[in-house]
Structure 1
């Protein structure tokens, strides 16, 4: 009797617990799966960073260094989210220009 390979054991386990994702077999599927989670997580991080920076600026009335740190935190959060958002749209643009489905798998 032949032993099953590691990959089939992994597939059986993932199927048994409901973790199948047929899109993970292609590069487009992997990018799509990552982007599906990355944008909402980036939005949550943006929200936390803006709230944290705002609280820092509000509580730093007499300390200009702390106010500047809060302002820098908000600015960094917005720049990071713009980069994340731009990455998504660059991929969309590449799909149109190259005629390939990157995000659809």
Structure 2
């Protein structure tokens, strides 16, 4: 019996579910060994999931940035005012970009009739 700390990876091993081509949906499995292509039959489903979660992450980052700016404003006194203003301005610009992106996606979905559930 050979003792190994790291399992060997074979770069040329074929993907059994798809057995050829570059069908990553059939090759990649979820945690319950279900192929990705069975759950996400269309790439739009996966993109929609990722974009929805990116908006949530961006909102959390915005909130944390505002709290950090307030903390700098309170703790550093006069020296921290300029830094805090810059942080708030950057956070607001990011929020406006995020807000505009959301509404652009909604308008494109309305015009094209695509079901984009964000």
TM-score tier, shorter chain, comes to 0.7 to 0.9
Q: For residue 10 of structure 1, what is the aligned residue in structure 2?
A: 28
Q: 1:23 aligns with which of 31, 40, 63?
A: 40
Q: For residue 96 of structure 1, what is the aligned residue in structure 2?
A: 110
TM-score when scaled to structure 2? Answer: 0.66
TM-score when scaled to structure 1? Answer: 0.72
Q: For residue 75 of structure 2, what is the aligned residue in structure 1?
A: 59
Cα distance change on mapping 1:32 and 1:79 into 2, 3 Å: same
Cα displacement (A) at 1:100: 2.5
Hey, which bits of structure 1, 4+ residues long, moved more than 4 A?
Answer: 17-21
Deviations 1:14-69 (A, max 9, x none): 1526795733632x223311222011111110111001011111122232xx3111
- Matched residue count: 97
Higher helix share: 1
Q: Is the 8 A contact 2:27 2:35 kept in 1?
A: no
Q: For residue 101 of structure 2, what is the aligned residue in structure 1?
A: 87
CA distance in 1, matches of 2:67, 2:100: 23
Contiguous gaps of at least 5 residues in structure 1: none
Partner SS for 2:78: coil
| Larger Rg over CA atoms | 2
Report the RMSD for the aligned CA atoms in angstroms. 2.8
Cα distance change on mapping 1:59 and 1:15 into 2, 3 Å: closer
Cα distance change on mapping 1:78 and 1:25 into 2, 3 Å: same
